[in-house]
Amino acid sequence: MPSSAFWANHWWQVVRQQAGRLRVGLLEHWQAFCPNPCRLCTQPTTQAVCAPCFAELPHVQSACWQCGLPLEHVNPAEAKPLCGECLASPPPFARLFAPFCYQPPITEMISRFKYQSALQDGRLLGTWLAHYLMAQRMAVDLIIPIPLHSTRLRQRGFNQAAELAHWVSRYLQVPWCTDVLQRVQRGIPQQGLPRRARQHSMHRAFQMARVPKVETVALLDDVVTTGATVRAAAHCLRQAGVRHIIVCAVARTPKPGMAQSLSSKP
Ligand SMILES: [Zn+2]
Ligand SMILES: [Zn+2]
């Protein structure tokens, strides 16, 4: 059973998110009536980001059909291209959807959102993700943001994945919840760790707080790097009997060395 600290964190998170969204919502409505500087190039626009800047974002062009890893060379005749890792060791989820490579300016936007509480960036990223998922015709019954450990949640004040889930849920008209999965190992910061060390650090990182009574679940995170975190979370859901699991994220990190050649205009 989840501890009282878990529930206290859960409700504190809900209150903070509602207050933040109200502020962001009022600001966005005001901006829709009068041109404001593009968030990326400062040219006047009635959108948060102007059309040329949106076109220049590092959209994923071709990716592994299952884990979403950006791929350099894909045979156009191949309907479901798979990366080497999915062929050797398929992940415990069916698909991963990510609209962007984890490259500038997406890296800076996610960093501002996570570490400087820039909720406007969170809303924008969540909206872009939602539109991408709608274009991909993603159909799920429930969205579960990847939980933070309670210590990190207290430090940051909010869970960035839950914030994104709110916006995705609003567009897709699919419920989301934070009371299914619980993070029980704080782990060490994953960025920069070798793949094997990262996967080892995620071992038994999650446990179920309750079993959802749905067929298809979407796990949602801001960035998927090696996939160790979402693999661990999906494994936990699979063990609990959830039959169909997909993953969605704002950005997917390309393999080192691929980064420069992958991003181009959509
Ligand atoms: Zn611009
Ligand atoms: Zn793959």
The whole model's pTM is what?
0.81
pLDDT tier at 15, thresholds 50, 70, 90: confident
Does residue 32 surpass a pLDDT of 70? no
Residue 62, helix vs strand vs coil:
coil
User: What pLDDT was estimated at residue 122?
Assistant: 94
CA dist., res. 134 & res. 147, Å (int): 24
CA of 99 relative to ligand 1 center, distance in Å: 19
Per-residue pLDDT reduced to its tens digit, 119-156: 889 999 999 999 999 999 988 999 999 999 888 888 88
Q: Which residues contact 196 (CB under 8 A, 6 or more apart)?
A: none
CA of 56 relative to ligand 1 center, distance in Å: 9
* Domain boundaries 4-30+63-72+81-188+197-255, corresponding CATH code: 3.40.50
Residue 137 to residues 97, 131, 245, Cα–Cα distance (Å): 11, 10, 15
Ligand closest in space to the Cα of 50: 1
CA of 35 relative to ligand 2 center, distance in Å: 42
CA dist., res. 262 & res. 254, Å (int): 8
What does the domain layout of the chain look like in residue ranges? 4-30+63-72+81-188+197-255
| pLDDT (mean) for 156-166 | 94
